[in-house]
Amino acid sequence: YVLNDAAIDYLEERHGGPALAAGLRTVELQHFCNQVPFMEHLGGKGIDIFDRQDIGTLAEAGLWGSIRHHGLVGDMVIVSDDAGQFRVGNHALCWVHGERLLQKLMPATAKEERWVAVVRDLVWRFYKALKAYQLNPSPQSAPAFRKRFDRIFSLRTGYGALDKLLERLHRRKNELLKVLDYPQTPLHTNASENDLRTFVTKRKISGGTMSRDGRVARDTMLGLLKTCQKLELSFYHYLGDRLGLGGEAIPQLAGLIAAKA
């Protein structure tokens, strides 16, 4: 854990309170090799280390401070469904989750229902245009996309819940249009959610693991399985090579990942 400007900024953005952030801010950054000295430091500052919510936010802040201190992530775009723990760094919002908010509206009249249908149609047409932009990026067309975004999300329909949602999404314009500056940015989080689907399915069937070792073993094996799939390797042959059963020699996965990147 590292308490530096990045960690304090993270804490302030997540409503940690100005007094809490000010109490932890120092001229020199502070390193903690693991959780024990980090908790001792927080306890010495008068923080209740048994308050799970506050400690969770502080731990996230210390980890984010460490990531930035070691020069990791950089300008990499982090796409999320707006969950607080992922709203860090160069952040982009998932369009699918954004549109899902429109689906959740419950119009009470035929007119309100028509407005929801119209807005959803406009959003999906705009989304398709962004996908086309990804395939053939053109910086000259970016201003037109931003104007079109403003026209859609500045609509006022008279349906209060819909208008509030459009206003809310309009405030997140930069995060929803991150693809205009970084065309390689995914427009949704489907790939990440698909990666977790195997884990969720196994958990539903088995009801979870009996011990910490079991959880580590499950997560490790599923992680290796997914990594091999993405590298177009046979997981069966990978395990055989690592267990010394002969057959095809598989290089270190870290080297293959770096080469592919």
Most confident stretch, 47-61, 83-97, 128-142: 128-142
The pLDDT of residue 108 is 95
Segment 123-137 mean pLDDT:
96
Q: Which tens digit of pLDDT belongs to each residue from 180-227?
A: 999 999 999 988 888 888 878 888 888 878 898 988 998 899 899 999
pLDDT tier at 114, thresholds 50, 70, 90: very high
Please check the confidence at residue 26 and state whether its pLDDT lies above 80: no
pLDDT tier at 15, thresholds 50, 70, 90: low
The pLDDT of residue 166 is 97
**DSSP notation for the chain:** -EESHHHHHHHHHTT--HHHHHHH--SS-EE-SSHHHHHHHHHHTT--TT-HHHHHHHHHHHHHHHHHHTT-STT-EEEESS-GGG--SEEEE-HHHHHHHHHT----SHHHHHHHHHHHHHHHHHHHHHHHHHHS--GGGHHHHHHHHHHHHT---S-HHHHHHHHHHHTTHHHHTGGGT-TTS-SSSHHHHHHHHHHHHHHHHH-S-SSHHHHHHHHHHHHHHHHHHHTT--HHHHHHHHTT--SS----HHHHHHHH-
The domain locations on the chain are 2-72, 92-180, 190-260
**7-21, 28-42, 94-108: range with lowest mean pLDDT:** 7-21
The pLDDT of residue 16 is 59
The pLDDT of residue 240 is 92
Please check the confidence at residue 17 and state whether its pLDDT lies above 70: no
Segment 242-251 mean pLDDT:
87
Segment 31-45 mean pLDDT:
91
Please check the confidence at residue 107 and state whether its pLDDT lies above 70: yes
Residues contacting 187, CB < 8 A, separation 6+ = 94, 95, 96, 127, 130, 131, 134, 179
The pTM of this model reads 0.72
Segment 72-77 mean pLDDT:
84
First to last CA, the chain: 28
The pLDDT of residue 185 is 92
pLDDT tier at 101, thresholds 50, 70, 90: very high
